Structure 1
Amino acid sequence: MPKNKHTPAGIQVPEDLRPWSAPWPYYAPVDITPAELTRKGLPASVAEGWAEPAVTPEDVRDWPARAAMALVPFTFDAWRWPLNPTGRTGKTGRNLGKWGENCAADPIVVAGDLDRDGERYVLLIQRSDTRQWAIPGGMVDPGETAPAALVRELREETGVNLAGHTPTVLFTGYVDDPRNSDHAWICTVAALYQLDHTVLATGADDALAAAWFPFTDLDTLTSAVTDAGGQLYAAHLPLFTAALARLDGCC
């Protein structure tokens, strides 16, 4: 993924102007494309295996297939550029490997049982790009399934191999990630793995570190991460909430 640590902020988009159907003649979103994805830097990123070679969406030749396989349906503008399914973001260009939908897989690994011993923990990694603590997930590789990506990303980033476990899918849909733009965005499959106890985990690949944090509720998790001198990755907060609701029998 791009080596830049912070995605530039976009312009503010009023709620009534977020829909693509709302006229905005002077809309001027901020281009968030990092050097690694410009025409000059793109070849090296393609060679590293994380970026597609299309400089613009006009260079993509398989849009019908991508649209048919998308987790969240999307449309195109008059120039056949894909449009973010949530509307305008205030950002253009791409800070992701692909134009359009970028499919991710997020394994939420929880150990312990509140009903049994009053303790429950969630496995997080510290991201190398933002230094924030997050779910040990990542992008689905070409030709790979989401279930396979869940296992692979977890193993690569923490050393924990849960290939023999069957997770519960919690969420499939759009993720409000800071790297999203009008023409490139992330959708994910988030799944819950439940273990009886914590296991050894070590940060590797894109993760600076891996650790278990208390997971009785979101406030407890946030406080524990803050006490450790860190921050939670905001885009994953809804996924933590979904996991807690399932664990506590709310859904």
Structure 2
Amino acid sequence: MTRTETIPTERRSWAVNWPEYTPTDITPPELRPSALAHHVPDWAEAAPTPTDVSDWPQRRGAALVPFELDARGWPLHPQGRTGRAGRNLGRWGENAAADPIVVAGTGRARRLLLITRDDIGVEAISGGMVDPGESALSALVRELREETSLDLADHRPVILGKGVVDDWRNTDNAWVASLSALYLLPAPVTAVAGDDAADVNWWPFGSLGELDAAITAAGRTLYAAHRPLLQRALDHLDQG
């Protein structure tokens, strides 16, 4: 679920009429129309508003999570009102991400590959945003290669699911959705940190509790937003 603490449950749905609804615009200065007219960040699209986006049919067709447009032609968060408006992400509407979960070994020897993010210093799944024109499946392989040096292009992952990510930048009009996939290896292999990773390691992965204990013992912290994805991977592994 996305963060909707400020919105009463009974009013989250777009189908519920709420004329007084006034979400807070969290668009940063560099993405406001006046700034975009002079400079467009390399990570963002140039459209100052969703009205300036011309390919909504294509975006909706390729979306990981289906979404609707309002009467103005603006995208609506699939899970309803968030209490925030505007854009604090690269694109209006869905911003697709790919989360490759790499697990090696079985039983007590089972290990999980995590990177240490160089921006916030926590242990996390190697992953990131899907590039324009790139498929989410291709992004899985690219992100792994860039951040861990592992090339798993010849491996077929198990698709664990698609869903909206609980991201602090999500708004009514722009949000993150992710494709999570599980890569299974017979044993841990050498990985080298690169791109957005400060470090990369294999961790015990018998359960989330075991993973937490190992990460805490090392003086580190597990990225909270990835816990549901990791539990989904464990559920799949335990079913097998």
> TM-score higher than 0.5 here?
yes
Aligned letter for 1:161?
Answer: D
Identity over aligned residues, as a percent?
54
Determine if the alignment matches structure 1 residue 85 to structure 2 residue 75. no
Change (3 A) 1:37 1:192: same
- 1:45 Cα deviation (Å)? 4.9
Counterpart in 1 of 2:14?
A: 20
- 1:84 Cα deviation (Å)? 0.2
Contact 1:110 1:121 in 2 (8 A): yes
State the alpha-carbon separation in 2 of the partners of residues 11 and 109 from structure 1: 33
Aligned letter for 1:131?
Answer: G
State the alpha-carbon separation in 2 of the partners of residues 214 and 34 from structure 1: 40
Counterpart in 1 of 2:29?
A: 35
Change (3 A) 1:113 1:45: farther
- 1:85 Cα deviation (Å)? 0.4
Change (3 A) 1:61 1:34: same
Determine if the alignment matches structure 1 residue 105 to structure 2 residue 98. yes
Instruction: Pick the aligned partner of 2:218 from 228, 233, 239.
Output: 228
* Structure 1 segment 1-251 matched on structure 2, within 5 A: 12-39=6-33, 42=36, 45-46=40-41, 48=42, 50-114=43-107, 118-249=108-239
Contact 1:111 1:122 in 2 (8 A): yes
Contact 1:33 1:93 in 2 (8 A): yes
Contact 2:4 2:81 in 1 (8 A): no
- 1:205 Cα deviation (Å)? 1.4
State the alpha-carbon separation in 1 of the partners of residues 98 and 195 from structure 2: 16
Query: TM-score, normalised to structure 2's length?
Result: 0.90
CA deviations on 1:37-96 (whole Å, 9 max, x unpaired) are 2345546554x3x21111111111111111122121111222211000000112222222
State the alpha-carbon separation in 2 of the partners of residues 37 and 112 from structure 1: 45
State the alpha-carbon separation in 1 of the partners of residues 84 and 192 from structure 2: 35
The alignment partner of 1:235 has SS state of: helix
The alignment partner of 1:248 has SS state of: helix
